[in-house]
Chains A and B, each alone.
Chain A
């Protein structure tokens, strides 16, 4: 089955630093999504990418959909305490007939050191 490898697994950074994480896959995806999950809550959508090569920003967040459709990265600039959480990449595959499912990466846990 499809697998998404996300790295790094965890990051410990100081407030104000920039963050970069990425996701790679052995398979092609039609859409890449980045979610953030905080303890006790569901994943919250941060950015959606629909086209290969697409670069999209959402405030301090920037994400790109790789040209090969097999990878994506997420950057967070000037991190703040509320950025703490687990970040998941997710790939969406559309099958014939409209079936679809999200395949999630293993997550990157972001911790900000005071």
Chain B
């Protein structure tokens, strides 16, 4: 009964380093979404991907952030040259199709020293 799997659960980086967050969707799900959550706030949409394609990246910062969902393997959210303001919980969700509910992983908590 594997749900959405995210790793690592916690990630600590120094300013200027790169952070790679991984997400394996639920079995059979080809739609993946990344969200960011700051403490005491709701989740904010970042990017929506289907296999090998970015469908909507309107919530993603233009610089330093990128996402991919290759044909084989997990989806990756990559943050280059991290800054303190990147500290947050990053959640991945997947769905069977565009009109089906999204199911979330337990997130990666990114801390920048």
A positions within 8 Å CB-CB of B: 4, 6, 30-31, 33, 35, 40-45, 48, 88, 90, 92, 94, 98-107
Whether A102 contacts B33 in the complex (CB less than 8 A), given A42-B91, A94-B99, comes out as yes
B positions within 8 Å CB-CB of A: 4, 6, 33, 35, 40-45, 48, 55-56, 58-59, 91, 93, 98-99, 101-107
Q: Is the interface of A mostly helix, strand, loop or mixed?
A: strand
Contact A98 B98 (CB under 8 A): yes
Complex partner residue of B42 from A94, A98, A107, CB under 8 angstroms:
A107
Closest Cβ–Cβ distance, residue B42 to chain A (whole Å): 4
Contact A42 B42 (CB under 8 A): no
Contact B48 A43 (CB under 8 A): no
Whether A42 contacts B105 in the complex (CB less than 8 A), given A101-B45, A104-B43, comes out as yes
Complex partner residue of B45 from A6, A94, A103, CB under 8 angstroms:
A103
Contact A104 B4 (CB under 8 A): no
Closest Cβ–Cβ distance, residue A114 to chain B (whole Å): 24
